Amino acid sequence: MNFVKTLLSKSKKALGFMLILGIFNSILNAGLLVFINNTIIKEPIPFFPEYDWALFIAIILASLVCSRFFQTYMIKLTNNLLFDFEVMILKKLRMASYQDFEEIGNEKIYTAINDTKVLGSVPEVFMNAFNSFIVILCCFGYLFYISPIGAGLVVVTMVILLIFYLVRNNAIEKELNERRDLQNTYYQYLADMLHGFKELKMGVLRNNNIFSKFLVKNRVKGKNIAIDTSIKYMDNELTGYYSWYIILGIVMFVLPSYFNMNAEKTTAFLITILYLIGPVAVLITLIPTYTMVKISAQRLNLIEQMLDPIQDRIAPSKLDNMESFEEIRFEDVTYFYNDEEKNQKFYLQPVNLVIKKGEIIFITGGNGSGKSTFGNLLTGLYEPYEGGIYFNNQKIDSSQLMYYSDKISAVFTTNYIFSENYDEFELKKDNETLKSHIDMMKMEEVLHLDEERNTFDKNLSKGQQKRLALIYALLEDKDIIVLDEWAAEQDPGFRKYFYEQILPHLQEQGKTIIAITHDDEYFDRATRVIKFNFGKIVSDKENLAQFVTNKVKRTIN
């Protein structure tokens, strides 16, 4: 469990200190037991017998202070460890490429975040187990001091019962793994229902099937496993609970009858056994917790194995020539997708093209033609399998993809409007640049600014969200803008306005526009139209008239 060891190493000194504190507190508790036993059998303590009451109070106070300090320290340690777990996952995840993120999936990330909460309890679980173990050792040491034979008989009985408990717990662990897999699948089905709610309402069969054949079926399996594991846990707990009566019966009836144990020793044995119930119960109840921690650690290790190669491969470095954009060049760039069995299911054939500053390029093609894959390569979300992408004649390698992507603004088909202003835009009413963008997008009557949070209200239609996303993209003030089916959700009037007014205006400002689009009636507005089909470029046509017109406009301006 490398992931766990790495984080626990940060708390090595703290754990060492807590071990010492735990041993001291456990010895104090065991001392109280001896003190009580000696008082009951009227055997004086070996030192300062006349002040036994003062010593009793001193031990209690010392144990109280030690326990409070221990618990306070444990609270801090546990929460610090939980923080470290979550931050480490998020830190590794944010450095992952988009293609790596797609392979991992949302469900595993959510599950991993939940697993960190389980692993956050590791110090408390460990220390409680350790303290209980020390108390048990002290108690058994005392029992062996009273009667080695009697203590040995008790130990053998407890070991047999413990083996029975552990064997049953192994079966429970397998069911817990199955339950966790079902939970991952459930999140996937739930995401389908929530994100595809409109589509569900458009098909009775689809709506019925996702509910009855997937969601409910998954929950029924999860419920049955939960009931089964809970019953097994209950059986284990009942076995552990009533086992103490067997042990007490051995002490009360077997030891006095067959081993001639006198009443004083029998009383001391009974009191010690009763005292042992607490620490042993702690250890037994920690076994299910240990099982959950073990499963969570295994899951986090899988995420770590996915993310660590990314960290080894990518050490972000800036581009040497970043000041101004002149061109992007693709040289024999290829890419392919694999299915779950690692069989190739799509191949983007070698792409060779140059994108010059100030161009308006339309990318077109049918579904599965390769245009979206090209868009992901162009924006740096995908890394080429073969060939190279050049920014101002500098080849982009893995370490530079982050900074290459940072040179491009993009509005994707499934664009997402963030809940907070992570880009730190100046969203103020007196911001003239913002006002001009809002006016250009005809959003002055729609957008509502929350000045306290420095963000806009997200309660917009799909088309309006696309316009807001483009406003944000323009506020980034980058030379290159990539738009993926941006106009698809605009009304016909605004779509015409977008192609005939907005795009030329952006080009006049020196922007380079690459738009993935099916709006062929406006292809004459582009300087180039590139068509993809079956994973390759089948045409790359320049619109010379539009190119000359735009160049003249820029010269006049």
Domain of residue 418, CATH code: 3.40.50.300
Alpha-helical runs (H) found in 147-262: 148-195, 197-201, 204-209, 216-249, 255-258
- Asked if residue 307 belongs to a domain, the reply is no
Helix (H, G, I), strand (E, B) or coil at 456: strand
Does residue 474 belong to any structural domain of this protein?
A: yes
**What's the confidence (pLDDT) of residue 1?**
45
Contact indicator for 207, 196 with CB cutoff of 8 Å: no
Mean pLDDT for each consecutive 10-residue tract of the chain (557 residues)?
A: 52 64 72 72 68 76 79 76 80 81 79 77 74 83 87 86 78 78 84 80 84 92 89 81 84 86 85 85 78 78 71 57 83 84 76 95 92 94 94 89 90 86 87 94 90 83 93 94 93 95 94 94 94 93 62 51
Q: Is residue 379 part of a domain?
A: yes
* Euclidean distance between CA atoms 285 and 237, whole angstroms: 8
Strands 455-456, 344-356: pairing is unpaired
Instruction: Supply φ then ψ for residue 118, to 5 degrees.
Output: -70, -45
- Does residue 445 sit within a domain? yes
Residue 481: which domain range? 327-556
pLDDT score recorded for residue 240: 76
Q: Distance between CA 397 and CA 411 in Å, rounded? A: 24
Question: Residue 380: inside a domain, yes or no?
Answer: yes
Pairing of strands 449-450, 480-484: unpaired
The Cα–Cα gap between 515 and 486 comes to: 8
pTM, to two decimals: 0.70
pLDDT of residue 246: 85
Question: Is residue 248 in a domain?
Answer: no
Residue-level pLDDT at 521: 92
Q: Which residues contact 205 (CB under 8 A, 6 or more apart)?
A: none
The number of folded domains in the chain is 2
332: region left, alpha or beta (phi > 0 left; psi from -120 to 50 alpha): left
Alpha carbons 261 and 254: distance in angstroms, whole number: 9
Pairing verdict, β 512-516 and 455-456: unpaired
Burial of 407 (0-12, 13-18, 19+ CB in 10 A): middle
Query: What is the rounded distance in angstroms from the CA atom of residue 45 to the CA atom of residue 51?
Result: 10
Q: Which of 146, 181, 209 is the last residue of a domain?
A: 146
Question: What's the CA angle centered on 412, arms 407 and 418, to 5 degrees?
Answer: 85
**Domain limit, last residue, from 146, 165, 199:** 146
Tell which of 103, 121, 146 closes a domain.
146
Query: Nearest 5°: phi and psi at 354?
Result: -130, 130
Q: What is the pLDDT of residue 11?
A: 56
Residues 6+ positions from 372 with CB-CB distance below 8 Å:
413, 484, 516
What is the 8-class DSSP label of residue 42? Answer: T
- Specify the pLDDT at position 457: 82
Q: Is 99 part of any domain?
A: yes
Please calculate the CA angle 94-98-103 and round it to the nearest 5 degrees: 100
Residue 427 lies in a domain: yes
Supply the pLDDT for residue 378.
96
Q: Which burial class, exposed, middle or buried, applies to 263 when counting CB atoms under 10 A from its CB (0-12, 13-18, 19+)? A: exposed
